[in-house]
Amino acid sequence: MPDILHIVVTSLVLMGAAFVIGAIGFGFGLTTSPILLLVLDPQTVVVVINAVAIIAFSLVLVETREHLRNRELAPMAVAAVLGTPIGVFALSTLDASVLRIAIGALVLVLTAMVVFNAEWKVPYPRISGPALGFISSASTTGLAIGGPILVLFFLGRRMDRQNVRASMAFFFTIMYVTAAIGYAIQGLFTSERLVLIVAAAPMVAIGYWIAMKLTGRMNEGVFRAAVIGVVVISSIAVIVRELWATFV
């Protein structure tokens, strides 16, 4: 049974992540894993984030379903299902300290990609799309991070904001459901993690609802800059802490 502090922190952080999803359509793992790694073990962070993310992305999918490009997304969704077992296996076998450092480092790399590669053209989309879907699924299932890979792909396909949000929601809803099945098979849904998931679920719905009410009046550029700043600082803190514990 997790203590009350862990429940409160997890619920509030995931509510903030749902707000981010409602506002910009990605960043659930990016904005939560660096902070939660400071209070929870890596396996718990990944399992809880990915389980609760089903709620957030399902809400986005319902809202944006009219903007879906089903024919283009279908091969990527199949690739996501195939990549999920790799992430589940990595999550259940990797060393906790190595996993923390890997998550923190990957967050920084992907954040830099989002910041510096806002506009680019996708080469061979029929091939690169499923390939990136496979990679994103494996990294998200195992590390709770992978959204920016797909965001870059969809931006490179010249999709508008609603198309990107709808595409991300479609892809990740399928992937997270598949991941949850894998976690259950591997016995990763412990009683502690289930308590955290149940406690955070209503907060995720609240965070998304607030985003829907407020984001129309927000300066998205300032908001994204603030989110990226928190992500970078938290990621560096996690990496420094783990390296300090390992080598000092």
From 39-43, 54-58, 233-237, the region with the lowest mean pLDDT: 233-237
Question: Cβ-count burial of 67 within 10 angstroms (0-12 exposed, 13-18 middle, 19+ buried)?
Answer: middle
The Cα 177–Cα 56 span in angstroms is 12
Q: Which of 23, 5, 33 is nearest to 209 (CA)?
A: 23
Residues 50-101 have pLDDT tens digits of 999 999 999 989 988 888 877 778 888 888 888 888 888 888 887 767 777 7
- Average pLDDT over the chain, rounded to an integer: 81
The CB density around residue 89, as the number of other CB atoms within 10 Å, is 15
Three-state SS at 119: coil
The Cα 187–Cα 2 span in angstroms is 18
The CB density around residue 32, as the number of other CB atoms within 10 Å, is 27
Q: Are 128 and 122 in contact (CB under 8 A)?
A: yes
Give, to the nearest 10 degrees, the angle between helix 96-116 and helix 147-156: 20
- To the nearest whole percent, how much of the chain has pLDDT over 90? 24
Residues 186-207 have pLDDT tens digits of 899 999 999 999 999 999 999 9
For residue 53, what pLDDT is reported?
Answer: 92
What is the arithmetic mean of pLDDT over 210-235? Answer: 71
Q: Are 168 and 148 in contact (CB under 8 A)?
A: no
Q: What is the CA radius of gyration of the chain?
A: 17
Q: Are 73 and 60 in contact (CB under 8 A)?
A: no
203 compared with 127, residue with greater pLDDT: 203
From 117-126, 135-144, 185-194, the region with the lowest mean pLDDT: 117-126
Q: Residue with structure tokens 């939560």?
A: 32
Q: Is 25 left (phi over 0), alpha (psi -120 to 50) or beta?
A: left
Distinct helix (H) and strand (E) counts, the chain: 10, 0
